[in-house]
């Protein structure tokens, strides 16, 4: 299909809390998502403990760790899930309330230790800044944090992300696969890409069909790419276009990593997500698909039942030997 004109909006930047200045720079005028503080010592009725730890103070990157309360007195080691949040590379953080709820749900039902990474955002820090931050977070895992040292099985690590975080998880995972000696003793077993965010100049059928989608309309995804990609790049850049960026997966294959790709038919990105699964499989990667007829982009943040439904899929994927 040929390029179609994205739907315009009178001031789309305000939808993500930004103001574009006359010199082309941006100012954040208001937060658009609520945040929840970490709580390392919550009431006894709360089953998940959380704490925030710095990764790189110079870049102001950090992580929120999630630990099941039941694990405190246990010597058993838990699967380690490194999570990169969504938000179009431009909004949200590891402290966002809906990601706090989502990660708590996964930690509880999978009985895992989660590390939710807060990375630098565009447009102040365009890609590849977030890729670098995510890769740095994987190297940071062996820095000696007490929760990770005492409770995480470093030999059973998964990289996960939703939406833009799914894009980050794939790119960070590919980079990590080429730096295995640096990442060790952390051993990555697979990637979990939930509704991953990719693009391209040529529109897909689902992008055209769902151009006026309430959650991520076409004009907003275009705007996001314009702010996140290197200046002067279009959506066919390797950070966005799967066919340009999905090159070297040899180590992923040789290490036996498995990649879960999940999506919903009501998501404008669904065609690209299906294409991702197809391209990976063509390159001999072990792919697990979880595509559902019902639902839309980010539905698990609006309908708790979808978050619950995702947990057994993740559990089966992680428990697979």
By annotation, the residues acting in catalysis are: 163, 267, 297
Q: Which two tokens stand for residue 34?
A: 């609520």
For residue 262, give both structure tokens: 């999940």
Whether 122 and 231 have beta carbons less than 8 Å apart is answered as no
- The beta strands (E) that lie in the chain are given as 18-20, 26-28, 48-56, 61-68, 78-84, 113-118, 152-162, 188-194, 258-264, 286-292
Helix %, strand %, coil % for the chain, to 5? 35, 20, 40
Distance (Å, whole) CA 298 – CA 306: 9
Residue found by looking up tokens 């276009």 in the block: 241
- Report which secondary-structure segment, H or E, holds 99: helix 97-110
Bridge partner list, 53 = 63
| Cα 55–Cα 57–Cα 61 angle in degrees, nearest 5 | 50
φ, ψ for residue 286, nearest 5 deg = -75, 115
* Number of helices and strands in the chain (H, E): 11, 10
What interhelical angle do 97-110 and 304-319 show, nearest 10?
Answer: 40
Cα 244 to Cα 234: distance, rounded to the nearest angstrom:
12
């Amino acid at each position: 299909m040929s390029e179609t004109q994205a739907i315009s909006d009178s001031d789309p930047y305000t939808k993500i809390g930004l103001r574009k200045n006359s010199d082309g720079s941006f100012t954040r005028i208001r937060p658009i998502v609520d945040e929840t503080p970490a709580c390392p010592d919550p009431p006894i009725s709360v089953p998940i403990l959380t704490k925030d730890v710095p990764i790189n103070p110079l870049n102001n990157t950090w992580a929120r760790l999630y630990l099941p309360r039941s694990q405190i007195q246990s010597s058993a080691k838990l699967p380690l899930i490194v999570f990169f949040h969504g938000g179009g590379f431009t909004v949200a953080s590891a402290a966002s309330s809906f990601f706090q709820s989502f990660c708590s749900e996964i930690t509880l039902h999978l009985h895992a230790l989660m590390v939710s990474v807060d990375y630098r955002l565009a447009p102040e820090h365009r890609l590849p800044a977030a890729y670098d931050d995510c890769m740095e977070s994987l190297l940071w895992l062996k820095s000696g944090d007490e929760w990770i040292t005492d409770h995480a099985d470093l030999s059973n690590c998964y990289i996960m992300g939703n939406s833009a975080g799914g894009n980050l998880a794939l790119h960070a995972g590919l980079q990590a696969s080429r730096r295995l000696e640096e990442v060790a003793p952390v051993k990555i077993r697979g990637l979990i890409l939930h509704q991953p965010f990719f693009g391209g100049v040529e529109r897909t059928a689902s992008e055209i069909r769902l151009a006026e989608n309430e959650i991520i309309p076409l004009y907003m995804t275009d705007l996001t790419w314009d702010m996140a990609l290197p200046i002067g790049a279009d959506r066919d850049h390797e950070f966005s276009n799967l066919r340009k960026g999905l090159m070297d997966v040899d180590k992923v294959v040789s290490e036996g990593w498995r990649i879960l790709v999940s999506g919903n038919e009501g998501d404008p990105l669904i065609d690209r997500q299906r294409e991702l699964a197809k391209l990976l499989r063509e390159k001999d990667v072990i792919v697990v698909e979880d595509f559902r007829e019902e639902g839309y982009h980010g539905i698990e943040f609006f309908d708790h039942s979808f978050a619950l439904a995702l947990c057994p899929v993740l559990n089966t994927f992680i428990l697979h030997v």
